[in-house]
């Protein structure tokens, strides 16, 4: 008895029995990875286009075959067996390696100049040339590091989105939501910017706006956009509409999910590539406290910086000297934009879960969350007294919300961080949770089911401090 | 005043929290099973790797100290009802002013030959979970589950999740049809087979055979079939865990006997949950109720009586839920496996064989009595209200949309159900609350 680890977390005595289809899929994916690495280091004289073709066939073909092998032949339903036994999804050795590799890749991307100096040349070399054929076709010019990044990002969302859809194919909500993030990533975050670049030499990202697009309202950006003509002016106009009109209105009706789990690219990656890691988010009360301080500080920081810069410009630089202004703008970009949202946000997926950035750092999430918390019709409702406190909802909440805390006391869940992914409702074995848009929840305590005499509604002292 | 609670399951913990919510009494919860309260119904998910054990503990560990609920990990050796004193297995003694017995249940063993062999076990406690891990962590060739109830299918699913072949012996002619009507029972039996379980209906266990090391090696059925296996799950129900209580002057029968104030025959001693037995059954209910929800209700009721708020056990309308592999089940009101005198039924099943609704109503005045629903989520509060308001079956069907709790965008079946009702009864009732597209978008 003593040698048994009751948490059964890190090692599984019986490795998951991979079937032949899954193995075939994994073999193809490995081939894709190898082709990518060969291209990166420029092995031999093979045309980059060949490497690209092999890589794409490997990723897409392998991904599709692996997904079908995993979920295709079993009845539809919740598929979380062995999530805490599998090394990759339970912070095992493979997860640590994956975390380090993704983090390093991000460091190469964001700090390419330094990497170039260290290796004494183009550190991403062949990886960039490899994407030239697509870049030429789409953008009418050679590839660069950000096109490589965007392409990998899109590939990940598409393949893992396909896997997610198969996994949750019994849920129309999950299918539609995933199609939506795949669509916005492919069209609005990858194809459209490329085509516009070809036509107008400017890449608009119309699904990103202030405060997530942190420099959207920086004076330098505004004057640049204004200078490039109608397209730039439209981008300014579009961004303002979305930030100040569409966001409050849509969030009032549907909660922050309209953006975070249906449109946003960060959310899109978290919901697809990040799905195998969603249960790794920290659910403790302590982490909730950290979350509230951190995320609202980031929102405050970007608002203050933006206002300072705008006031500074409108007073002809009376407020700040050029150096301070530069430090403010670049400092936020480096610490929040690059390190927090990119390196930590994605690199740490296998260790801290898929929504680290969205939960602790994203100023857009903070802004949406404030509306959701205080003035929105969105909430998760609980079904009478049917909760058995099993904990699936809390465990699989990527935002670290202790959903069970509310469900077992028969209380609606109105939390600023909820992105409305709907997984709590999906994994609930007793049909207790439902995402709903209903009457205004601003007077939250009134709609908590105090009047429902089915179970004890308790006020045991927990969050009062 | 010192309130002592034996057992930290849902009943004992609900009682402790109810006492804390109402009073400043000293509270001590004693359990030898675990340090902290966990969700018993979720044990299966730990074995299946959906969660770690810490995830099935509904409260963080600081919760208990903060709410001044003392936890003591020990087994109680004796209860001295005269001196109001408990002796623990570490020889510590604890005195109480009010005592709640919430010691739960244990798996039934019906005297099968070989039932105590290594590898033969039930699934109820944390220790059972550890035992199953130990019994299977070297890998097994086959597990045999004996008894077609809720724990049986859970255990079968657990072994299946680790890719172990499972044989499922069910005494009844269809899975759980001593509780479920034949239609639902058949549907679930099919679903069990769809998952690849070797489901043997109408077959019982005769004997369990062991090897030279005292480990199970096969079972023999009443049909004289020998099935080689390494694990046997005994899941033919549970019985109140009252060995400790039997040594005292507290009255026991199948369970600790209590009245509707959850009071035993001994002053200041109460009992609730799986271990308790009412002197008389309430209408449509059993004297021993052993589900999560009744544990919660009884725990609350017992606590109120312990602190002097005289409260009769009034659980309201019956409700329950379960999940059979991928199919969720909810029930509201009373649906017996066979219709009772004066009852009629209306059964609808979806073409996919994974969703159904079974309505029972009174033949004379069409009063709605209860519903079994599979694969579709319905609102508890709405059905509770309809039962309270004594609605007719027609009213329930016409308003079925109001009870729908399915996730957004799910296709709904109300139209089909109403159409079938109209066809069967040659009536023409109409669905209410149909929503236009505009209404759906803006709700």
Which residues of chain B from 174 to 203 reach within 8 Å of chain A, CB to CB?
191, 194-195
Full set of structural domains in chain A with CATH: 1-93+124-188 (no CATH), 376-447 (3.30.70.20)
Question: Which residues of chain A have a CB within 8 Å of the CB of B442?
Answer: 253
Residues 6+ apart with CB under 8 A from A23: A69
User: Which CATH number covers residue B76?
Assistant: 3.50.50.60
ipTM: 0.95
Residues 6+ apart with CB under 8 A from B203: B169, B170, B171, B221, B222, B223, B225
CB neighbours of residue B72 within 10 Å: 18
Question: Which residues of chain A have a CB within 8 Å of the CB of B412?
Answer: none
B230 and B329 co-located in one domain: no
Two structure tokens written together for A284: 């403790």
The residue of chain B nearest to residue A427, with distances taken between CA atoms, is B50
Residues 6+ apart with CB under 8 A from B123: B43, B44, B107, B129, B132, B151, B154, B155, B158, B233, B235
Give me the domain span that covers residue B264.
Answer: 2-106+239-306
Question: Which residues of chain B have a CB within 8 Å of the CB of A456?
Answer: 14, 17-18, 296, 300
Mean pLDDT of B197-207: 97
Measure the CA–CA gap between A126 and B68, rounded to whole angstroms.
64
B283 vs A: CB within 8 A:
no
B155 and B205 co-located in one domain: yes
Confidence of residue A10 (pLDDT cuts 50, 70, 90): very low
Measure the CA–CA gap between B163 and B178, rounded to whole angstroms.
29
DSSP state, residue B180: S
Domain boundary among B306, B327, B347: B306
Distance from CA of A187 to the nearest CA of B (A): 24
Summarised one tens digit per residue, pLDDT across range A206-262 is 999 999 999 999 999 999 999 998 999 999 999 999 999 999 999 999 999 999 999
Q: What is the residue-averaged pLDDT of chain B?
A: 95
Strand partners, A141: none
Two structure tokens written together for A9: 């977390």
Measure the CA–CA gap between B375 and B325, rounded to whole angstroms.
11
Mean pLDDT of A179-200: 96
Alpha-helical runs (H) found in B69-181: 126-136, 150-161
CA distances from B337 to A200, B177, B184, B378, B387 (A): 72, 6, 10, 21, 20
Say whether B355 sits in a helix, a strand or coil.
coil
Residue B75 in any domain: the answer is yes
Residue B378 in any domain: the answer is yes
Question: Which contacts qualify for B80-88: CB closer than 8 Å, 24 or more apart?
Answer: B81/B248, B81/B249, B81/B250, B81/B266, B81/B269, B84/B268, B86/B4, B86/B6, B86/B30, B88/B30
Distance from CA of B421 to the nearest CA of A (A): 25
Residue B115 in any domain: the answer is no
Say whether A294 sits in a helix, a strand or coil.
helix
Residue B312 in any domain: the answer is no
Main-chain phi, psi angles of B250, to 5 degrees: -75, 130
Q: Are A244 and A154 in contact (CB under 8 A)?
A: no
B379 vs A: CB within 8 A:
yes
Measure the CA–CA gap between B156 and B166, rounded to whole angstroms.
6
Two structure tokens written together for B9: 């399951």
Tell me: pLDDT of B167 over 50: yes
Main-chain phi, psi angles of A404, to 5 degrees: -60, -35
Confidence of residue A450 (pLDDT cuts 50, 70, 90): very low
B101 and B246 co-located in one domain: yes
DSSP state, residue A77: S
B248 and B396 co-located in one domain: no
Residue to substitute from B67, B328, B380, interface A, most A β-carbons within 10 A? B380
Measure the CA–CA gap between A90 and A78, rounded to whole angstroms.
18
Measure the CA–CA gap between A171 and B410, rounded to whole angstroms.
7
CB contact under 8 A, B384 and A384: yes
Confidence of residue A344 (pLDDT cuts 50, 70, 90): confident
Summarised one tens digit per residue, pLDDT across range A264-322 is 999 999 999 999 999 999 999 999 999 999 999 999 999 999 999 999 998 888 888 88
Query: Which pLDDT value is given to residue A394?
Result: 98
Query: Which pLDDT value is given to residue A413?
Result: 92
Nearest to A242, CA basis, from A208, A265, A272: A208
Query: Which pLDDT value is given to residue B313?
Result: 94
CA distances from A55 to A25, A127, A154 (A): 13, 11, 14
Considering only CB atoms, B139 lies closest to which of A14, A392, A449, namely A14
Measure the CA–CA gap between A91 and A82, rounded to whole angstroms.
13
Residue B399 in any domain: the answer is yes
Confidence of residue A47 (pLDDT cuts 50, 70, 90): confident
Domain boundary among B278, B306, B334: B306
Residue B374 in any domain: the answer is yes
Run of H or E residues at A334: none
A170 vs B: CB within 8 A:
yes
Mean pLDDT of B94-98: 98
CB neighbours of residue A287 within 10 Å: 15
B8 and B67 co-located in one domain: yes
What is the DSSP pairing of strand B198-201 with strand B166-170?
A: parallel
B438 and B327 co-located in one domain: yes
Counted domains in chain B:
3
Tell me: pLDDT of A459 over 90: no
Q: Are A298 and A362 in contact (CB under 8 A)?
A: yes
End-to-end CA distance of chain A: 41
DSSP state string for A135-154: HHHHHSS---HHHHHHHHHH
Summarised one tens digit per residue, pLDDT across range A402-445 is 999 999 988 889 999 999 999 999 999 999 999 999 875 544 44
Q: Where are the beta strands (DSSP E) in B192-294?
A: 198-201, 205-210, 216-221, 226-228, 231-234, 238-240, 256-258, 269-271, 276-278
Question: Which residues of chain A have a CB within 8 Å of the CB of B23?
Answer: none
Question: Which residues of chain A have a CB within 8 Å of the CB of B130?
Answer: 1, 4, 6
B15 and B45 co-located in one domain: yes
Q: Buried b / exposed e across B188-205, counting CB within 10 Å, b at 16+?
A: bbebbeebebbbbbebbb
Tell me: pLDDT of B107 over 70: yes
CB contact under 8 A, B328 and A429: yes
Where is average pLDDT lowest: A202-206, A437-441, B397-401?
A: A437-441
Residue to substitute from A388, A405, A433, interface B, most B β-carbons within 10 A? A388
Two structure tokens written together for B44: 């299966």
Nearest to B103, CA basis, from B285, B267, B313, B290: B290
Main-chain phi, psi angles of B263, to 5 degrees: -95, 140
Query: Which pLDDT value is given to residue A7?
Result: 43
Residue B311 in any domain: the answer is no
- The residue with tokens 């990202």 is A205
Query: Which pLDDT value is given to residue B202?
Result: 96
B323 and B435 co-located in one domain: yes
Tell me: pLDDT of A42 over 90: no
B140 and B181 co-located in one domain: yes
CB contact under 8 A, B408 and A404: no
A233 vs B: CB within 8 A:
no
Confidence of residue B443 (pLDDT cuts 50, 70, 90): low
Mean pLDDT of B113-117: 96
Mean pLDDT of A49-63: 96
B102 and B249 co-located in one domain: yes
CB contact under 8 A, A438 and B18: no
Measure the CA–CA gap between A107 and A342, rounded to whole angstroms.
9
Query: Which pLDDT value is given to residue A440?
Result: 58
B78 and B61 co-located in one domain: yes
Q: Are A14 and B163 in contact (CB under 8 A)?
A: yes
Two structure tokens written together for A276: 């195998």
A167 vs B: CB within 8 A:
no
Residue B313 in any domain: the answer is no
Considering only CB atoms, A4 lies closest to which of B52, B133, B321, namely B133
B350 and B436 co-located in one domain: yes
DSSP state, residue B267: T
Q: What is the residue-averaged pLDDT of chain A?
A: 89
CB contact under 8 A, B319 and A384: yes
Two structure tokens written together for A192: 């459209």
């Amino acid at each position: 008895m003593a040698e048994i680890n009751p948490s059964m977390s890190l090692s599984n005595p019986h490795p998951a029995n991979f079937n032949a289809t899954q193995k075939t899929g994994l073999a193809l994916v490995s081939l894709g990875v190898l082709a990518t690495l060969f291209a990166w280091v420029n092995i031999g004289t093979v045309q980059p286009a060949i490497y690209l073709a092999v890589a794409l066939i490997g990723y897409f073909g392998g991904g599709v075959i692996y997904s079908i092998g995993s979920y295709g032949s079993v009845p539809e339903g919740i598929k979380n067996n062995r999530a805490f036994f599998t090394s990759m999804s339970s912070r095992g050795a493979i997860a640590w390696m994956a975390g380090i590799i993704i983090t390093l890749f991000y460091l190469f991307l964001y700090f390419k100049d330094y990497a170039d100096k260290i290796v004494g040349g183009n550190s991403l070399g062949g990886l960039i040339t490899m994407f030239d054929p697509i870049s030429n076709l789409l953008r009418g010019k050679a590839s660069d590091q950000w096109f490589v990044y965007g392409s990998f990002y899109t590939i990940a969302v598409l393949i893992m989105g396909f896997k997610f859809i198969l996994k949750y194919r019994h849920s129309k909500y999950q299918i539609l939501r995933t199609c939506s993030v795949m669509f916005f990533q492919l069209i609005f975050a990858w194809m459209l910017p490329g085509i516009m670049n070809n036509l107008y030499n400017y890449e608009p990202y119309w699904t990103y706006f202030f405060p997530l697009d942190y420099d959207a309202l920086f004076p330098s950006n505004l004057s640049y956009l204004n200078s490039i003509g109608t397209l730039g002016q439209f981008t300014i106009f579009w961004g303002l509409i979305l930030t100040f009109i569409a966001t409050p209105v849509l969030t009032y009706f549907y909660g922050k999910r309209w953006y975070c789990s249906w449109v946003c690219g960060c959310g899109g990656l978290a919901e697809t590539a990040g799905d195998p890691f969603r249960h790794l988010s920290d659910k403790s009360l302590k982490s909730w406290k950290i979350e509230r301080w951190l995320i609202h500080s980031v929102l405050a920081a970007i608002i203050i910086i933006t206002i300072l810069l705008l006031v500074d410009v409108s007073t002809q630089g009376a407020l700040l000297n050029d150096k301070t202004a530069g430090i403010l703008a670049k400092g936020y970009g480096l610490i929040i934009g690059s390190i927090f949202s990119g390196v930590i946000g994605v690199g740490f997926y296998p260790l801290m879960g898929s929504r680290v950035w969205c939960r602790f750092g994203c100023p857009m999430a903070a802004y949406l969350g404030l509306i959701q918390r205080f003035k929105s019709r969105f909430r998760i409702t609980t079904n009478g007294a049917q909760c058995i406190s099993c904990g699936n909802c809390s465990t699989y909440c990527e935002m670290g919300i202790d959903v069970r805390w509310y469900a077992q006391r028969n209380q609606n869940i109105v939390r600023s961080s909820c992105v409305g992914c709907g997984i709590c409702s999906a994994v609930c074995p007793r049909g207790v949770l439902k995402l709903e848009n209903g009457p205004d929840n601003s007077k939250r305590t009134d709609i908590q089911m105090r009047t429902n005499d089915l179970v004890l509604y308790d006020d045991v002292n927990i969050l009062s401090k | 005043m010192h309130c002592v609670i034996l057992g930290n399951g849902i009943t004992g913990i609900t009682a402790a929290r109810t006492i804390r919510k109402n009073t400043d009494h000293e509270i001590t919860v004693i359990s030898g099973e675990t340090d902290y309260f966990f969700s018993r119904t979720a044990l299966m998910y730990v074995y299946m790797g959906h969660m770690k054990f810490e995830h099935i503990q509904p409260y963080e560990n600081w919760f208990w100290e903060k709410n001044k609920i003392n936890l003591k990990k020990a087994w109680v050796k004796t209860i001295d009802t005269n001196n109001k004193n408990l002796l623990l297995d570490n020889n510590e003694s604890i005195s109480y002013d009010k005592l709640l017995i919430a010691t739960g249940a244990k798996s039934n063993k019906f005297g099968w030959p070989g039932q105590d062999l290594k590898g033969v076990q039930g699934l109820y406690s944390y220790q059972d979970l550890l035992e199953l891990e130990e019994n299977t962590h070297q890998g097994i060739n086959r597990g045999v589950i004996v008894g077609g109830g809720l724990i049986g299918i859970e255990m079968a699913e657990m072994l299946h999740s680790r890719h172990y072949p499972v044989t499922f012996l069910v005494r009844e002619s269809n899975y759980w049809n001593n509780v479920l009507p034949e239609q639902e029972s058949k549907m679930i039996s099919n679903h069990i087979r769809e998952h690849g379980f070797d489901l043997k209906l109408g077959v019982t266990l005769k004997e369990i055979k062991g090897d030279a090391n005292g480990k199970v090696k096969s079972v023999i059925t009443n049909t004289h079939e020998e099935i080689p296996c390494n694990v046997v799950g005994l899941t033919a129900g549970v019985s109140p865990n009252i060995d400790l209580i039997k040594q005292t002057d507290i009255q026991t029968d199948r369970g600790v006997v209590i009245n509707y104030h959850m009071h035993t025959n001994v002053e200041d001693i109460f009992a609730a949950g799986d271990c308790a037995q009412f002197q008389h059954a309430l209408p449509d209910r059993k004297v021993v109720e052993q589900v999560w929800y009744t544990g919660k209700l009884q725990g609350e009721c017992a606590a109120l009586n312990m602190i002097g708020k005289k409260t009769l056990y009034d659980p309201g309308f019956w409700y329950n839920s379960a999940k059979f592999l991928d199919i969720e089940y909810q029930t509201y009101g009373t649906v017996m496996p066979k219709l009772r005198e004066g009852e009629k039924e209306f059964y609808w099943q979806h073409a996919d064989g994974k969703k159904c609704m079974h309505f029972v109503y009174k033949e004379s005045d069409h009063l709605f009595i209860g519903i079994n629903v599979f694969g579709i989520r319905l609102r508890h509060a709405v059905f509770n209200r309809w039962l309270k308001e004594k609605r007719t079956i027609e009213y329930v069907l016409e308003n079925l949309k109001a009870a729908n709790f399915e996730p957004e965008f799910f296709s709904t079946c109300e139209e089909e159900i109403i159409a079938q009702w109209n066809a069967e009864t040659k009536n023409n009732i109409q669905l209410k609350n149909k929503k236009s597209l505009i209404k759906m978008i803006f709700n």
